[in-house]
Amino acid sequence: MLKEHIDNDSVIRIISHNDADGISAAAVIANALKEEGVQFHTSLIPRLKEDIVNQLRSEKYDLFIFSDMGSPFIKELNTYKHDVIVADHHQVSDVESESNVVHINPHLFDIDGSRDLCGAGSAYLAVRELDKKHLAYFPLIGAFGDMQGQDGFTGVNQLILNDAVESGIVEIHEGLKIVSKASEPIFKSLAYTFSPPLPGISGDLEGAQEFLEKMNLSYGIKFTDLEDEEKDLLKDALVSINPDIFGDCYTVPSEIPLLRDLEEYSYILDACGKNKKQGLGLSIALGERDQALDAAIRLQRQYRDQIVKGLEWIKREGAVQLNAIQYLYSEDKVLKSVMGTIASIGLSVEILDSSKPVIGMSRLHKDIKISGRTTREMVARGVNLGKALMDSSNNFMGTGGGHDIAAGAMIPYEAKDQFLHLVDDMVEYQLNND
């Protein structure tokens, strides 16, 4: 279908999610179309809602591509007069797609969309046949953005990695998985490394300084400026805290240093998305550098500082405990912007109880935005947050859904307490009936 529209010189409409995975998904399609000399118009949005689906219907494009979103709306998209490609990885509904809709989603093939393929991966599969293996690094960036590459790539992600390595664009080498090695003083590199987590150091600037001082290492210089024996000393000390900190690093050697590491690239796109500057993230992924990248790095610094503040808040206040879940609630502007992130990091650096899913809640006027996070261990025990949040929010005229491990919802403010108790009951039920 895509090839046909390219041959016909159609103008193509891309609608994608505004997080790191969604920006990477839009980037893989937009870069492919750019190379084919096709015109396209892209929108990056926080959520696909029914009114947006209906509004797009009247736009005069021959082909609509929804990436990292769209699977719950197959029924509505079936009624479009135009062709549609949905490249998503979120949980699917029971509706079959009509002949005008191509639906690419791992769940349709019993592949785990929260682990083995991300939205950008599905988008890549839509363009791969156009001889686009050199773009295979974008789905890997998206996978990191959706927490899929941290323990190595599995499933379809592994096949995409093979494409990227075969095309010569990506190299794999062993190294320390700490962030901003070439751009931040080392204590900040350590404190801003959240995955793999370093308990006592991740999110804790003072903790990181003390750790380095104990080893007689200067904390004010960059990792890249350390002597080789100092790097080895640091590596051994970090490995004793978390062995996962040393392992495979995935790089694009032809890129500039700031964007060479794929995981680092995903954090930069994530910071753009979280600060509502997703267009900036996409322009970088389409090849802009200099001022665009400077602006993105400033956003990333600001965003990381907000995360550190958020983690300090959790340490100070703690989460409110219910039977099967715990929750965080804030009306503070900074905390609201990082609620989902600090919920996940709080679990991984062990400042939240990892045996209970965490529900982060932030108030937006008359509504409450909800970010649910849990661990792989809890999912293995039966927890499915996507289902719990979808079913609970429906009871209060809200909307929700996502993956088993990470999900979101929107509910009216006055439903807050009842909603929490319902989610608590549902998670308890999931744990007891697995």
- Indicate whether 159 and 18 sit together in one domain: yes
Write down the pLDDT at residue 235. Answer: 96
My answer on whether 337 and 202 are in the same domain is: no
**Axis crossing angle, helix 155-166 with helix 137-145, rounded to the nearest 10:** 140
Domain that holds residue 133: 2-168
What's the CA gap between 379 and 317, in Å, rounded? 26
CATH of the domain at 54: 3.90.1640.30
| Per-residue pLDDT at 403 | 85
Residues 198 and 159 grouped into a single domain: no
Sign for the pseudo-dihedral over CA of 16, 177, 163, 287: positive
Task: Answer whether residue 397 is part of any domain.
Answer: yes
**Domain check: are 14 and 134 in the same one?**
yes
Residue 337 lies in a domain: yes
Length of the chain: 434
User: Of 116, 133, 168, at which residue does a domain stop?
Assistant: 168
Number of domains in the chain: 3
CATH number at residue 396: 3.10.310.40
* Whether residue 88 is found in the same domain as residue 147: yes
Q: Are 204 and 158 members of one domain? A: no
Backbone angles phi, psi at 377, to 5 degrees: -60, -40
Residues 144 and 281 in one domain: no
Give yes or no: residues 145 and 218 share one domain: no
Q: Does residue 173 belong to any structural domain of this protein?
A: no
264 and 329 co-located in one domain: no
The CA distance from 199 to 192, in Å, is: 12
Distance CA 224, CA 231 (A): 9
* Pair 305, 277 in one domain: yes
pLDDT at 248: 93
Same domain, yes or no: 291 and 242: yes
- Of the residues 246, 278, 310, which one is the last residue of a structural domain? 310
Whether residue 174 is contained in a domain is answered as: no
The two beta strands, 246-251 and 171-176, are antiparallel
In angstroms, the CA 378 to CA 381 distance is 5
**Token pair in block for residue 63:** 């082909």
Q: Which of 168, 203, 225 is the last residue of a domain?
A: 168
Residue-wise DSSP of 224-287: GGS-HHHHHHHHHHHHHH-GGGEEEEEE-TTS-GGGSBHHHHHHHHHHHHHTT-HHHHHHHHTT
Kindly state whether residues 304 and 324 are assigned to the same domain: no
Per-residue pLDDT of the chain (434 residues; tens, 9 = 90+): 899 999 999 999 999 999 999 999 999 999 999 999 999 999 999 989 899 999 999 999 999 999 999 999 999 999 999 999 999 999 888 888 889 999 999 999 999 998 999 999 999 999 999 999 999 999 999 999 988 987 789 999 999 999 999 999 999 999 999 999 888 999 999 999 998 899 999 999 999 999 999 999 988 999 999 999 999 999 999 999 999 999 999 999 999 988 999 999 999 999 999 889 999 999 999 999 989 999 999 999 999 999 999 999 999 999 999 999 999 999 998 898 889 999 999 998 989 999 999 999 999 889 999 999 999 899 999 999 999 999 999 999 999 988 889 999 999 999 999 999 999 999 999 999 87
